[in-house]
Structure 1
Amino acid sequence: MEFSITATFQISFVSFLVLLSVATSQLNPCNFPAIFNFGASNSDTGGFSAALSALKPPFGETFFHRPAGRISDGRIILDFIAESYGLPYLSAYLDSLGTNFSHGANFATLGSTIRPPGQNAPSPFYLNLQYSQFMNFIPKTQYIRQQGGIFATLIPKQEYFSKALYTFDIGQNDLTALIFGNMTKEQVKASVSDIVKTFSENVKNIYNLGARSFWIHNTGPLGCLSLFLTKFPSAEKDEYGCAKANNEVAQYFNQQLKEALAQLRKEFPDAAITYVDIYSAKLSLFQDPKKYGFELPHVACCGYGGEYNFDSGEYCGGTINVNGTNILVGSCKNPSARILWDGIHYTEAANKVVFDKISTGAFSDPPVPLNMTCHRSFTKN
């Protein structure tokens, strides 16, 4: 009987995917003229570097061949999303040098949180402040367009704001603060509920400014990162070497987020809101690293010291003194063979694999491919 139930479920799920594929094949692919992103370090393209502290080599060495504001050796998932639509990489809103906002802007910064940051937080640009920046961005850019001249060509057209894709990747820093704060399980859950509520309020606010297509990442498997494995060396590990308790916190947050977005779809039936299970896509790399050409899955490529080549006091790009000699905390010989870049963020190679996975729709709710994420239903236009 058990086999029969399982088989029936598998057949039903496959049938659903086939029907979804047929339905989406009758629709035109989305043609977003712009992307507006909100988030933290996983989607920062230069905000933190411009406003607070510039990254140093070897950041950016693989693709840009220089530090380019990404917390990686090369491109991040947001870059691959932009590429998939034939759009230029997003300029950071906070960067005043050589920026081009004609096809969108990025409000994300390293260290950003959903709720207001604590006293020692690395970034003041939490989500509500990013929303405020975007809210002011709209009328200011349209005033510039009206003035004409060369600056007008670097500004999005008014209709782009309603037609754009709005992407989000934030929450990891909120969870990190909870985990590092020695809170009880009940306190963590209560805090997660409030964090998700605050996130939903910001999505509503951005919707009220005209946004209609949303692509929202959940948070990744924190317990697989060098940071957490180094911080909690005695933590119980799962079969893949990840800290179980830390991943459970991430999963709890993700479930709350998924339910909140389902509620937002009911409130705003004219919006296309896609929940993206980045957790499962990233976890798959740690579950079978060799399948994707990776080695030493939990060991940082750029770092120094310990089992995981990670020490927060001797961070990637910094300088340390070893036996009287100052040396650069540099990268490994082959970043493309590693999952983790600095012990917290991913290499370009890992980001590309994750992008390839999530862009198919296999990790989304509803399970819609990235290039169809503007559609709210599966009826032919």
Structure 2
Amino acid sequence: MGCGGVQVLILVFLWNVSLGLGGCDKAPLVFVFGDSNSDTGGLASGLGFPINLPNGRTFFRRSTGRLSDGRLVIDLLCQSLNASLLVPYMDALSGSSFTNGANFAVVGSSTLPKYVPFSLNIQLMQFQHFKARSLELVTAALQIYIGARNLINDEGFRSALYLIDIGQNDLADSFAKNQSYAQVTRKIPAFITEIETAVRSLYNQGARKFWVHNTGPLGCLPKILALAKKKDLDSLGCLSSYNSAARLFNEALLHSSQKLRTELKDATLVYVDIYAIKHDLITNAVKYGFSNPLMVCCGYGGPPYNFDVRVTCGQPGYQVCNEGSRYVSWDGIHHTEAANTLIASRILSMAYSTPRTPFDFFCHH
């Protein structure tokens, strides 16, 4: 698809979002488990960790705890359903009754080690508490004959979508500890097992609709490139070993998804190839209207990556590109809203989903 075609796709996506053409015929409920790629403010609300402007400058005009200049992919997916943006589970002051679901994703999360905030199994424990408490309140409301319309009931939890997007930090943290490629890749089965365990746990609690993202091209992240001691670069300028590990992770996750689909007979599990979407974005950045796909918009140090671990985005001394600039990377790890918009449009196209399933499949009677 040429540049014009992609721009049309994005414009149609934004037009549908603005009109609320989500296609749902019942209120969509979404629960998200993951890391910073999906964190809509969990780190800020849960730990009080400061995430300052210019984060949030493009859409929200203030920092909301998202590590981007604007909306994340999950925000855009929710808007495609004409649903409200998801509130972090730990945001006590949001005023939300979580009628459209909840976001358990937190910056820095991984599958392992367990019982470390906020690993995947901790997020599952939080969900279990959330569900149990919600059902208690529904029962109490019915017993005293007051409306329970604003509470999620058992049918709501059963018909909700459970989105899992995690694994990037497992790989990145392993490499950051100076583990060899062989050492990192040997750990992949254990990471996949944790995701399988999460799906089965949710299934045993009644969940039937799953949406699983694989991990992106780790070796193309400017922060990783800037800090890597060994520069085994491919033709795009990305780290070959890191991307190879990400592909092995994704192959294992695809195999796991196929196995779970066979095992959990009445469940729908959609696997989305985020790696292919993001790799294509970097490969064809110029065609899509982006410049310098391996250079950071908000950072310090100039070319080739504009990333300095001592002066990161929002910290004293940072520099930021002009609003409206077409950068892929926002801060060295996370994407700009412009990039996220293209990524979301590709997800919604179904071309990268196995099986090819519309994102709104779960909110139909």
TM-score (norm 1): 0.83
Q: CA deviation at 1:334?
A: 3.1
The number of residue pairs the alignment matches comes to: 337
Q: Name the structure 2 match of 1:133.
A: 126
Letter in 2 for 1:371: D
Contact 1:340/1:347 (<8 A) preserved: yes
Q: Name the structure 2 match of 1:345.
A: 334
Contact 1:335/1:341 (<8 A) preserved: no
Contact 2:181/2:241 (<8 A) preserved: no
Contact 2:27/2:100 (<8 A) preserved: no
Q: Name the structure 1 match of 2:41.
A: 46
Q: Distance in 2 between matches of 1:54 and 1:61?
A: 15
Q: Name the structure 1 match of 2:113.
A: 116
SS in 1 for 2:164: strand
SS in 1 for 2:300: coil
Q: 154, 159, 164: which one pairs with 2:160?
A: 164
Q: 31, 39, 43: which one pairs with 1:36?
A: 31
Q: Distance in 1 between matches of 2:324 and 2:177?
A: 32
Q: Name the structure 1 match of 2:312.
A: 315
Q: Name the structure 1 match of 2:354.
A: 365
Structure 1 unmatched runs, 5+? 1-27, 320-326, 376-380
SS in 2 for 1:81: helix
Greater Cα offset, 304-313 or 50-59: 304-313
Q: CA deviation at 1:371?
A: 2.8
Q: Distance in 2 between matches of 1:42 and 1:60?
A: 14
Q: Name the structure 1 match of 2:137.
A: 144
Q: Distance in 2 between matches of 1:68 and 1:357?
A: 25
Aligned residues: percent identity?
Answer: 41
Q: Name the structure 2 match of 1:236.
A: 232
**CA deviation string 1:263-312 (max 9, x = no partner):** 10111010000000000001111101112211111111111115311122
Q: Which has the larger radius of gyration?
A: 1
SS in 2 for 1:275: strand
Structure 1 residues 243 and 374: CA distance shift in structure 2, 3 A: farther
Q: Distance in 2 between matches of 1:314 and 1:117?
A: 31
Q: CA deviation at 1:68?
A: 1.0
SS in 2 for 1:291: coil
Q: Distance in 2 between matches of 1:211 and 1:242?
A: 38
TM-score (norm 2): 0.87
Q: CA deviation at 1:155?
A: 3.3
Letter in 1 for 2:207: A
Contact 2:59/2:70 (<8 A) preserved: yes
SS in 2 for 1:333: coil
Structure 1 residues 184 and 234: CA distance shift in structure 2, 3 A: closer
Q: Distance in 2 between matches of 1:278 and 1:198?
A: 19
Greater Cα offset, 30-39 or 89-98: 30-39
Q: Name the structure 1 match of 2:89.
A: 93
Letter in 1 for 2:42: G
